[in-house]
Amino acid sequence: MDITLTQAQQDLRALAAELADREFRSRASRWDENEEYPEENLAILAKQGFTGITVPEEYGGLGLGDLEAALVLEELGAVCLSTAVLCQLHLNGPPRAIANFGNDEQRERFLPRVAAGECLIGIGMTEPDAGSDAMSMRARIRRDGDAWKLEAYKNMITAGHKAQAFFVVTRFPEAGERAMGAVMVDADAPGVSVSKVHKKMGLRGVPEAEVAFDDVLVPSADVLMEGDAEGRAMRTILSQFNHERLGNSAMCVGVAAGALRESIRYAQERIVGGKRIIDLQGIGWKLAEMSTKVEAARLMVWRAASKADAAGHDQPTPALEIAQAKWYANVVAQEVANEAIQIHGGYGYTREFPVERMFRDVRGLAIGAGTIEIQKNLIARLLDRGSK
């Protein structure tokens, strides 16, 4: 499979790297230390057009695909994962579902604001008792005259306390007990309230929130995918989450690549017993293994993204390649960030060097967007069905 980057893709990648270095590097620790939402960085992303990379051109975006999104997210993730996650929500979150499966009115209402960085849409999937097992979800929506009424309590919505709108996955019990679909809800709609913002180990600039949807009126125009007894809507929703998984994998490659870069620099400068530590075979081998793993994970992400783009954005995403890329990139990022701390010795454990933040930040990506265990379950199921 040919995954040579075009000149335009190389330019976009270089632009993202330059932007991350110029604007985001020096402030990356601030969001973490202060648990501060990187609002300023979101404005910079929007000004550069990065919030609209995957939004179709007719709605003010660049109309690019999964590979371009992955290239940008890797470069941002290498420097400031909190900022990358905000970008990811615009590139690979609910706007994808709206662009691919929303009607004209829904696209018109949301996508230009997404591209402009003025509408962050929180993902309302997980519930306190339904994470990996989405089918245990309790959220329910019922017809109420011409509209609908939603009753839901969602957990772990990334940036839910700052979102302008929510993409809420819910049961449609009137269509069947297992019917599930998705609706859009404005954050300021009566009955919507943020009940808790979680304090976290890492990614402390962009926390997850618990959000209650208490008897919320949902106009029919805001039903994005109506649940059906055959489960078509839910399959489509799950397929759309594959874009998010790809972006998650790309950010993991970014963190790993960033931690590797920091480690090479440190190992070249640190003198122990009169020698640079990079000249010690034990350290050199660590760097060799780290760089090989980063390269392998990156190729898997590019392969899956290229395949998704080649299929077309309204087509099912390549589930096997994406699950493999996510599992591998999640694991590699943790291993590489961990080794980076080891190479930095005692300093690696202090908050004076970025590698400890990278280690904490990236940990959550092995849980969000479907845990590594769930990816492996999916891979095994697809192999059983004959996928290669």
Ligand X SMILES: Cc1cc2nc3c(=O)[nH]c(=O)nc-3n(C[C@H](O)[C@H](O)[C@H](O)COP(=O)(O)OP(=O)(O)OC[C@H]3O[C@@H](n4cnc5c(N)ncnc54)[C@H](O)[C@@H]3O)c2cc1C
**Tokens representing residue 295 in the block:** 């390269």
Terminal alpha carbon distance of the chain:
14
266, containing H or E segment: helix 232-269
- Judged by CB under 6 A, the stretch of 38-46, 99-107, 118-126, 332-340 that binds ligand X is 118-126
Check: CB of residue 90 under 8 Å from CB of residue 120.
Answer: yes
Judged by CB under 6 A, the residue of 6, 10, 34, 132 near ligand X is 132
Q: Is 364 in the site for ligand X (CB under 6 A)?
A: yes
Cα separation values, 56 from 52, 165, 317, Å? 8, 19, 18
Q: Tell me if 156 contacts ligand X by CB under 6 A.
A: yes
Using the rule CB under 6 A, give the single segment among 150-158, 214-222, 235-243, 334-342 that binds ligand X: 150-158
Report DSSP state, residue 105: H
Nearest residue by C-beta to ligand X?
131
Would you state the structure tokens that stand for residue 18, as one six-digit string? 């330059």
361: contact with ligand X by CB under 6 A: no
User: Site for ligand X (CB under 6 A): which residue of 10, 312, 373, 381?
Assistant: 373
Q: Does 242 bind ligand X (CB under 6 A)?
A: no
Instruction: Give residue for tokens 């994406």.
Output: 322
Residue among 157 and 287 whose Cβ is closer to ligand X: 157
- By CB under 6 A, the residues from 171 to 210 that bind ligand X are 203, 208
Query: 47 and 61 in contact (C-beta within 8 Å)?
Result: no
Which amino acid is located at 361 in the chain? D
User: Residue 8 or 380: which CB sits closer to ligand X?
Assistant: 380
Binding window for ligand X (CB under 6 A); candidates: 37-45, 322-330, 336-344, 365-373:
365-373
> 110-130 as b/e, with b when 16 or more CB fall inside 10 Å?
bbbbbbbbebbbbbbbbbeeb
C-alpha torsion angle, residues 341, 81, 370, 114 (rounded to 10): 180
Shortest distance in whole angstroms from residue 367 CB to ligand X = 4
Nearer to ligand X, 163 or 343 (CB): 163
Q: Which helix (H) or strand (E) holds 320?
A: helix 319-343
Structure tokens given for 246: 């790809």
Pick from 170, 83, 179: which is nearest to 124 by CA?
170
Binding of ligand X at residue 123 (CB under 6 A)?
yes
Query: In this chain, which stretch among 32-40, 47-55, 130-138, 327-335 interacts with ligand X, using CB under 6 A?
Result: 130-138
Contact between 126 and ligand X by CB under 6 A: the answer reads yes
In the complex, what is the shortest distance from the CB of residue 14 to ligand X, in angstroms, rounded to a whole number? 28
Q: Which is nearer to ligand X, 179 or 203 (CB)?
A: 203
Stretch that binds ligand X, among 233-241, 285-293, 347-355, 361-369 (CB under 6 A): 361-369
**Closest Cα to residue 72, out of 97, 94, 45?**
45
Region from 61-69, 99-107, 122-130, 286-294 binding ligand X, contact rule CB under 6 A:
122-130
Residues that bind ligand X (CB under 6 A): 123-126, 131-133, 156-158, 203, 208, 364, 367-368, 370-371, 373-374, 377
